Amino acid sequence: MPDNRALPIGVFDSGLGGLTVARELMLALPDESLVYLGDTARCPYGPRDRDEVREFVLQIGSWLTQRPVKLIVIACNTATAAGISLAQRVFDIPVIGVVEPGARAAVKATVNRGVGVIATVGTINSGAYSTAVRSLDAGVTVYSAATPRFVDVVEAGLRMDDSPLEDWISQTADVFIRPSFYQIARDYLNPLKRAGIDTLVLGCTHFPLLSAAIQQVVGPNVRIISSAEETARDVAETLSIRGQLALPGRGHRTFYTTGDPIEFERLGGRILGSATGVVGKVELTLLESLIDDSMRAQKDAFESEEDACS
Ligand code: DGL
């Protein structure tokens, strides 16, 4: 195996949410360098068609492998649900997503074997969490709810410090939230509470920013799981087993966006808890140009196999 210990880890998300995963990676693996791409120009992924999200996974995976990177983290549940198997097939470096680590943490945490999952429409419709949980413990029942408005709440809340604050009075989260959030949250979460869950997976990388507020709504008896920490552990273990951990010394972190770099730098720093440094811009036309015929053929073959198995 080539000595690629000095190469960065590639991380991507539909936008800013994946920075919650980058933050954990930076804490768990301070020596590692990271290259992060937030596809803000095409965010949200949640309501998009699975095929389209798969295409984005291939484009960004190709961009990262060309840097090059030694491992890819898909720090987006929607992209993981749609594209991790395909990405693992196409790229010749390890690809780690956030669904399996979140499912594993939930299975470890639940006592009554009732687990709730909240996520985007794309993630919930994929059934990825139910499949992942069942493969770990077939006795656990998963209750799922798509909570797309939570993504909007986080996106709006992050942009809040530029706007008048009068009616944005709550700060029981890492972002500003309106009091009306609690009614939206109760509507989404009460059915899960009534089902008797004792564990709730935040199946979207935006949601850890609402964690404290969600905890208030579900009450103290429900354990909240964010897959970020478990994902960071997976990355550390994978690199360690492969002898690819970086040598001691602080890693470099570089951030890119397909959207507005100035905005990404301003908002990203708030999520990371430290400055991003100058954020680079990646044009969508560049990403689109990275899918060649051979990759398209691999995608077609993968999908034919998938259809044959279903
Ligand atoms: N970060 C995405 C996820 O974890 C949610 C945001 C989006 O819809 O793009 O699923």
The distance between the two most distant Cα atoms of the chain, rounded to a whole number of Å, is 58
Confidence class of residue 173 from pLDDT cuts 50, 70 and 90?
Answer: low
DSSP3 helix / strand / coil % (the chain, rounded to 5): 50, 15, 35
Q: What is the pLDDT of residue 152?
A: 86
Residues within a 6 A CB radius of ligand 1: 13-14, 17, 43-46, 76-78, 120, 123, 151, 204-206
Q: Averaged over 31-59, what is the pLDDT?
A: 96
Listed in order, the ranges of the chain carrying CATH 3.40.50.1860 are 9-98+229-309, 100-227
User: So what's the architecture of 100-227 in CATH?
Assistant: 3-Layer(aba) Sandwich (3.40)
pLDDT at 284 over 50: yes
Structure tokens at 297: 């053929």
For ligand 1, pick from 42, 45, 53, 149 the residue to mutate: most ligand atoms within 8 Å of CB.
45
* Angle CA 282–283–284, to nearest 5: 120
Q: What is the pLDDT of residue 163?
A: 53
Q: pLDDT digits over 208-231, tens only? A: 989 989 999 999 999 999 999 999
Q: Cα(157)–Cα(155) distance, rounded to whole angstroms?
A: 6
Q: Residue 28, exposed/middle/buried by CB under 10 A (0-12, 13-18, 19+)?
A: middle
Q: What is the pLDDT of residue 129?
A: 97
How far apart, in Å, do the first and last CA atoms of the chain sit? 36
Residue 286's nearest CA partner among 306, 262, 255, 257 is 257
Ligand 1 centre to CA of 188 (Å) is 17
Question: CB 118: neighbour CB atoms within 10 A?
Answer: 26
Q: Is the peptide bond before 191 cis (omega within 30 degrees of 0)?
A: no
Ligand 1 centre to CA of 77 (Å) is 6
Q: Averaged over 150-173, what is the pLDDT?
A: 64
H runs (alpha helix) in the chain: 19-28, 50-65, 77-90, 99-109, 121-126, 128-136, 148-158, 181-194, 211-218, 227-241, 261-272, 284-289, 293-309
Output the pTM of the full model: 0.93
Ligand 1 centre to CA of 126 (Å) is 14
Indicate which atom in ligand 1 lies nearest the CA of residue 43. Answer: 9
Half-sphere exposure of 26 (CA within 13 A, CB side): 20
Is the distance from CB of 213 to CB of 170 less than 8 angstroms? yes
Q: Whose CA is nearest to atom 7 of ligand 1?
A: 44
pLDDT at 165 over 70: no
User: What CATH class does 9-98+229-309 carry?
Assistant: alpha beta
Q: pLDDT digits over 49-88, tens only? A: 999 999 999 999 999 999 999 999 999 999 999 999 999 9
Residue 3 amino acid letter? D
The one catalytic residue in 21, 26, 204, 272 is: 204
For ligand 1, pick from 98, 149, 204 the residue to mutate: most ligand atoms within 8 Å of CB.
204
3-state secondary structure of 143: strand
Residue 222's nearest CA partner among 180, 175, 182, 189 is 189
Q: What is the pLDDT of residue 205?
A: 93
pLDDT at 137 over 70: yes
Structure tokens at 202: 């935040």
pLDDT at 99 over 60: yes
Q: What is the pLDDT of residue 292?
A: 87
Confidence class of residue 195 from pLDDT cuts 50, 70 and 90?
Answer: very high
